[in-house]
Structure 1
């Protein structure tokens, strides 16, 4: 079969079929004429993909199922839990609306019945302004989940308390960049989980080419920092001062550890990032000094 015939059979666009091929969900070989040749097996796979997508499953989860059918039950249970949480949230919202229509006016009690749908929604409400914009730009992908454990709830309140009481002196240039980035990315939530999975896979299992590129980037940074002009460029000074300000404020000791408790995906990402950074620095015999500059490790 050609792609047009398959598209008609599975009620899907040719563009969608090609997209699933690009994402690694469908492997199709080319015939002698150079065109892709589709089989009945490809039709079944596309039908499975449609079922999973209509259930709301992420592409990354579908890819894992197609690569290893034994994980299907696990992925379906995970999806079932997410849908159950969503249904419970909607049920509480409907109940609250009914109470309000019936004349309920104890807003303190009504508020206790409701939770934000995601941690991201809660934090965006609790941390307005430039700090909230900076926070959400960096951490939004890891917060598209509800609070389901007491540890998460405690971590959430610790983070809110941190941002509510900490006074940070953010350089003007970084304020402008944070505002611009938050504006550019505020609607880019779709596909977040897939991007996270790809990013984590790159850190956990980098191919030789990618690892060599990361190692080269660290070495380039070390060499650039040795030049006087580079070290004292306004942008370099601003970045180092900001990192030292974060360290002084407790960002690294209070905020980030609680972020790990709040978001399992962030915890996995941060630990993978540290691991590969430590590996590269060890191979290059480098360490970070108190000014967050790369230097040769003392013998």
Structure 2
């Protein structure tokens, strides 16, 4: 059926349906004339999406639920996180009420410390621990895997190891590279970090879902990208210098041994994601051997 009828059946706007398709949540057949032909299965999924969205479930979580073999269990996980957020809001409101009645910072500091383990997500705790561009970088790089809380002793030890590592590691950038990063995050035209993260994650998801197909479909673009990254122009640019600096930093600072190893403990989803990335890298290096030189891989 055509999109107009789908809108009526699902009580959704055309833009909403197009958005859900762009997120690979539905897969209508594309006819020779370019029109979409929506099946009854698409209708069922759109109704499911509509219900879950009205329950406050995020698009990322909906994608997991739709492909889950146990949807009630997948939704129960979302409900648990929602309950934690509601509890957090209640506790924050209680703190603010107490401060309004009697502005005793020491009392509320102690109160919030007792709630810290379950009040905030791991992502939020890291951002609080490292304000500024440093925390923003960590959040953008790992954040989507750290929306849970620290609920085991093993995770607590892993989190503490990560904080100690990030706090002591010598990440000193040359002045020109510091200026480059500062300009990136404080551009006059404000960069939408969440949008960048979403677009990057979307491309990675597409590539990991069908690595061979993705690489073949984008072969020309990938070859041009590898050629540019290998060029003197890029190598002498601030971006090229920053890439080399970060590669050396990761090799010499214990990045893999401490940060990544403990991130995998904090988030099984991240550990699984890394396995897929490593498998995709192996495929890419076979198809594009020059990529090995681009990232100075040995």
TM-score (norm 1): 0.72
User: Does residue 245 in structure 1 map to residue 245 in structure 2?
Assistant: no
2:259 equivalent in structure 1:
255
Residue pair 2:61, 2:78 contacting (<8 A) in 1 also: no
SS of the residue aligned with 1:170? coil
Q: Which residue of 2 aligns with 1:109?
A: 110
1:140 aligns with 2:143: yes
Contact 2:21 2:27 in 1 (8 A): yes
CA distance in 2, matches of 1:2, 1:284: 41
Which one of 212, 215, 219 corresponds to residue 210 of structure 1? 215
Q: The residue matched to 1:207 in structure 2 has which SS?
A: helix
What's 2:92 paired with?
Answer: 93
Q: Please say if 1:169 is aligned against 2:172.
A: yes
Report if aligned partners of 1:156, 1:262 keep a CA contact under 8 Å in 2.
yes
Q: Residue 52 of structure 1 contacts residue 62 of structure 1 at CA under 8 Å; is this kept in 2? A: yes
5 Å-filtered alignment, 1:1-299, equals 3-28=3-28, 43-63=43-63, 66=66, 70-100=69-99, 103=102, 106-115=107-116, 117-183=120-186, 184-185=190-191, 188=194, 192=198, 196=201, 199-200=204-205, 202-203=207-208, 205-210=210-215, 233=236, 236=240, 239-281=243-285, 293-294=296-297
CA drift at 1:51? 0.7
Gaps of 5+ in 2: none
- State TM-score, norm by structure 2: 0.72
RCO higher in 1 or 2 (8 Å CA, sep ≥ 6)?
A: 1
Two-structure CA RMSD over aligned residues (Å): 4.4
Q: Structure 1: any 5+ residue segments left out of the alignment?
A: none
User: Is 1:117–1:146's contact at 8 Å kept on the other side of the alignment?
Assistant: yes
The alignment covers a number of residue pairs equal to: 290
Maintained 8 Å contact 1:137/1:182: no
Deviation at 1:83, TM superposition (A): 1.9
Q: Distance in 2 between matches of 1:212 and 1:32?
A: 20
Are residues 4 and 173 of structure 1, via their aligned partners in 2, closer, same or farther at CA, if it must alter by over 3 Å?
same
